[in-house]
Amino acid sequence: GDSVTQMEGPVTLSEEAFLTINCTYTATGYPSLFWYVQYPGEGLQLLLKATKADDKGSNKGFEATYRKETTSFHLEKGSVQVSDSAVYFCALSDPVNQGGKLIFGQGTELSVKP
Amino acid sequence: DSGVTQTPKHLITATGQRVTLRCSPRSGDLSVYWYQQSLDQGLQFLIQYYNGEERAKGNILERFSAQQFPDLHSELNLSSLELGDSALYFCASSGLKANVLTFGAGSRLTVL
């Protein structure tokens, strides 16, 4: 079945460092791809999304490009801040084959030090 | 505030007991999803309802059941609780853009 694999954490960076969190997926159809973020003690919030190949999602300085040829959706940010410390989840949704539910990766914890 | 309301925020109970978690979706959203988040299993999809009808089922145990009421709120019932059921339970809702889910803050269940 469909699945999402993320790089393992935790990832620890200094403020203003470059961030990459790798995400690859397996899907039988043509899924939409998402990054959600979970701040400590809170629920998940949608960070960005892309609905078709070569789409780039972006928000709050974060970007990810839907790469069908490599089945990847890596999250990047050029300069992280302490406030970016959170757990990041890559997810896919295949409404045609799987309904509206999201299938999540295992999450990657990011810790940004001042 | 995401607009998805979950109660209770925290719940502590004993093995063998039964609990009910409640979710009110965002205004206008017809779909409700339940997820379980635990350290060892990550985020697992449990079940989805659309306008009162069950739409999809995931890794939901037989001891668990859910329903969505005419006012669109949903309840997740967990019975014969075991230690391993301790987890965060999230509800999410979606509207016309069916693949964009909005999550509630979660209900943390601790089974002692």
Is B38 in CB contact (< 8 Å) with chain A?
no
pLDDT attached to residue B112: 96
Q: Which amino acid is present at B75?
A: E
Question: How much is the mean pLDDT over chain A?
Answer: 93
* Alpha carbons within 13 A on the beta-carbon side of B18: 8
pLDDT tens for A59-109 read 999 999 999 999 999 999 999 999 999 999 999 988 666 667 889 999 999
Looking at the complex, report in whole angstroms how far the Cα of residue A1 sits from the nearest Cα belonging to chain B.
Answer: 12
A46 to B102: CB separation less than 8 angstroms, yes or no: yes
**Is the pLDDT reported for residue A26 higher than 80?**
yes
Distance CA B2, CA A43 (A): 9
Looking at the complex, report in whole angstroms how far the Cα of residue B105 sits from the nearest Cα belonging to chain A.
Answer: 4
